[in-house]
Amino acid sequence: MSTAEETAGGEAQPWGEVTPDAARRLLLAAVEAFAERGYHATTTRDIAGRAGMSPAALYIHYKTKEELLHRISRIGHEKAVEILRTAARAEGSPTRRLAEAVSSFVRWHAGGRTTARVVQYELDSLGPEARAEIVGLRRQVDAEVRGIIEEGVRSGEFDVPDVPGTTLAVLSLCIDVARWFNVDGPRTPEEVGALYADLVLRMVGAARG
Amino acid sequence: MSTAEETAGGEAQPWGEVTPDAARRLLLAAVEAFAERGYHATTTRDIAGRAGMSPAALYIHYKTKEELLHRISRIGHEKAVEILRTAARAEGSPTRRLAEAVSSFVRWHAGGRTTARVVQYELDSLGPEARAEIVGLRRQVDAEVRGIIEEGVRSGEFDVPDVPGTTLAVLSLCIDVARWFNVDGPRTPEEVGALYADLVLRMVGAARG
DNA sequence: GGGTGCGCTAAGCGCCCGCTCACCCTTGCC
DNA sequence: GGCAAGGGTGAGCGGGCGCTTAGCGCACCC
């Protein structure tokens, strides 16, 4: 691979796998537009315009507008699973791994807010087959977090009466960051990640710090 | 007032104030449609059809499709403020009031999921002036919750290093219920409300029941 | 019982949507 | 240089959108 897939800041460039170059530019333009206005309010003319192309160019690389959303959604969810899987399978106590999972997941939602917004909130705009595929990836996301919490309960580090419910709440908290996070706001993604990791450790009754 | 505004279950019928009857039927149809497909994917023909009317009937009661969304959003946000204000100003310790605020707010999001979904997720579909008005109501929502947490910190019941950040997280957790809650799922609104109240008390470091 | 006005409909206007098609450049191979 | 291939464009099709308008029917008042 000749181009770097990760920048120095740790922020992923997950679109490196998309070729050729024009297809990637269109995909990036679509992410921006979908995040700003939503899938249904975005026109193919707008996407093509942002990518510096004519409306027809879109259809050389993608069959439909929905295929664009599907591709974005799949790549984004794969990235989400990868982030959580890395944290879940790292070394260290469940407490440390849960904190790392939450803070890195939150950093991804805050830092790549445009992508995360599309990934998390435009699921219903997909057709049935595409949605079914993405729902499968979401189950993997849920399983990774639930796994860490279960381990912490077994080891006695956590005190969690309702593991599925708490898993849901933890993921919900992280995902909703994509809705409210503001790049020009007072908090950096790192700060929100640290705050949320602390709050989640409180939620599972873990000893902190 | 000849008709009841509240049902026995405590679930509000906040549309009682909308008159005449045809206007209310259209508003309810719009809530359903917006919640299901989103504002931009909903057509005025669909709304009118659900209300059993012709497309033109909509424009007798509302100037534009956006006015429908604006009205729904304002009524919904006013209800949200009312729920939190009631809990915040009740008697009892900050711990009790925070638990009541969270559980009732969650019950509203879960039970009236269609309304809550529109209220919480279609804000960006409003024009600038309408959005500005709604943002003001949101600030009131934030202030009510922050007020309870501040009181708990002052009284020594809570241990919260970052009050604005924790307020944000608590509200985020409650609001996101509207995204994931499923009426056919395993949990009732009451169960989710109780679970979330407990999780939030853990987040603020309060002694629990 | 005739007039008045309101709630509603049938029809349709103008616009812009997603998408297609015929054609045009550039590139690389012989 | 000839030529095939593929990325790109300009123009435009069919259709559905938000919204308007002309007119109808029914409840109500005198």
- Structural domain ending residue among the three candidates B24, B45, B62: B62
CB-based contacts of A154: which residues, under 8 Å, 6+ apart?
none
Assigned domain for A7 exists: no
Element (H, E) at B20: none
Inform me whether the C-beta atom of residue A59 falls under 8 Å from chain B C-beta atoms.
no
Assigned domain for B88 exists: yes
Total domain count, chain B: 2
Nearest CA in chain B to A41: B40
Rounded CA–C1' distance between B58 and C17, in angstroms: 23
A96 and A50 in a common domain:
no
Alpha-carbon gap, residue B14 to A199, rounded angstroms: 34
pLDDT in single tens digits along all 209 residues of chain A: 333 444 444 445 678 787 788 899 999 999 999 999 999 999 999 999 999 999 999 999 999 999 999 999 999 999 999 999 999 999 999 999 999 999 999 999 999 889 999 999 999 999 999 999 999 999 999 999 999 999 999 999 999 999 999 999 999 999 999 999 999 999 999 999 999 999 999 999 998 87
Note whether A174 and B169 are within 8 A (CB): no
Handedness of CA A7, A11, A16, A22 (dihedral sign): negative
Inform me whether the C-beta atom of residue A209 falls under 8 Å from chain B C-beta atoms.
no
Residue indicated by tokens 């104030």 = B17
Alpha-carbon gap, residue A39 to A44, rounded angstroms: 10
Note whether A87 and A101 are within 8 A (CB): yes
Q: What is the DSSP letter of A91?
A: S
The minimal CB distance from A169 to the residues B41, B175, B196 is found for: B196
* Interchain CB distance below 8 Å, A38 and B38: yes
Assigned domain for A122 exists: yes
- Structural domain ending residue among the three candidates B62, B78, B93: B62
B86 and B49 in a common domain:
no
Alpha-carbon gap, residue A27 to A72, rounded angstroms: 7
* Interchain CB distance below 8 Å, A180 and B168: yes
pLDDT value at position B202? 98
Note whether A183 and B150 are within 8 A (CB): no
State the CATH number of the domain containing residue B123: 1.10.357.10
B194 and B129 in a common domain:
yes
Assigned domain for A8 exists: no
Instruction: Give me the average pLDDT of each 10-residue run along chain B (209 residues).
Output: 41 72 93 95 96 94 95 95 97 97 97 94 93 96 98 97 98 97 95 98 92
Q: Tell me, what amino acid is at B150?
A: E
A165 and A120 in a common domain:
yes
Strand C closer than 7 A to residue A59 Cβ: yes
Residue among A122, A90, A78, A110 at smallest CA distance from A178:
A110
Tell me the sheet residues that pair with B12: B6
Condensed to tens digits (0 to 9), the pLDDT of residues B183-196 reads: 999 999 999 999 99
Nucleotide nearest to B42 (CA to C1'): D17
Q: Chain-wide mean pLDDT for chain B?
A: 92
Strand C closer than 7 A to residue B165 Cβ: no
* Interchain CB distance below 8 Å, A37 and B124: yes
Alpha-carbon gap, residue A47 to A57, rounded angstroms: 10
B159 and B106 in a common domain:
yes
Interface probe for B, chosen from A39, A65, A174, A199 (most Cβ of B below 10 Å), is A199
Range of the domain at B101: 65-203
B169 and B120 in a common domain:
yes
CB-based contacts of B169: which residues, under 8 Å, 6+ apart?
A173, A195, A196, A199, B203
Note whether B72 and B115 are within 8 A (CB): yes
Handedness of CA B88, B91, B97, B103 (dihedral sign): negative
B57 and B69 in a common domain:
no
B181 to chain A, minimum CA–CA distance in Å?
A: 10
- Identify protein residues whose C-beta is within 7 angstroms of any atom in strand D: A 20, 22, 48, 52-57, 60-61; B 42-46, 55-56, 59, 63-66
pLDDT value at position A2? 38
The per-residue b/e assignment along A35-70, b for 16 or more CB within 10 angstroms, e otherwise, is: beebbbbbebebbbebbebeeebbeebbeebeebbb
Alpha-carbon gap, residue A19 to A2, rounded angstroms: 13
Assigned domain for B75 exists: yes
Tell me the sheet residues that pair with B6: B12
pLDDT value at position B12? 53
Give the CB-side neighbour count of residue A188, counting CA atoms within 13 A.
4
List of chain A residues whose C-beta atoms are within 8 Å of the C-beta of residue B169 = 173, 195-196, 199
Assigned domain for B57 exists: yes
pLDDT value at position B130? 94
CB-based contacts of A120: which residues, under 8 Å, 6+ apart?
A109, A175, A178, A179
Rounded CA–C1' distance between B51 and D20, in angstroms: 20
Assigned domain for B179 exists: yes
Interior angle at CA A174, CA A171 and CA A179, nearest 5: 120
Alpha-carbon gap, residue B89 to B101, rounded angstroms: 10
The structure tokens listed for B36 are 């299901």
Q: Tell me, what amino acid is at A200?
A: V
B71 and B55 in a common domain:
no
pLDDT value at position A13? 64
List of chain B residues whose C-beta atoms are within 8 Å of the C-beta of residue A188 = none
> Does A189 sit behind a cis peptide bond, omega within 30 degrees of 0 on the bond before it?
no
State the CATH number of the domain containing residue B31: 1.10.10.60
A75 and A50 in a common domain:
no
Alpha-carbon gap, residue B122 to A188, rounded angstroms: 26
- Structural domain ending residue among the three candidates B62, B88, B119: B62
Note whether B100 and B89 are within 8 A (CB): no
Alpha-carbon gap, residue B72 to B32, rounded angstroms: 11
* Interchain CB distance below 8 Å, A173 and B177: no
Assigned domain for A119 exists: yes
Rounded CA–C1' distance between B22 and D26, in angstroms: 16
pLDDT value at position A39? 96
pLDDT value at position A197? 98
Pick left, alpha or beta for residue A131 (phi over 0 → left; psi -120 to 50 → alpha; otherwise beta). alpha
B80 and B53 in a common domain:
no
Among the residues of chain B, which ranges form H helices?
A: 21-37, 44-50, 58-61, 65-88, 94-111, 113-121, 128-155, 163-180, 189-203
List of chain A residues whose C-beta atoms are within 8 Å of the C-beta of residue B161 = 198
B92 and B124 in a common domain:
yes
A178 and A120 in a common domain:
yes
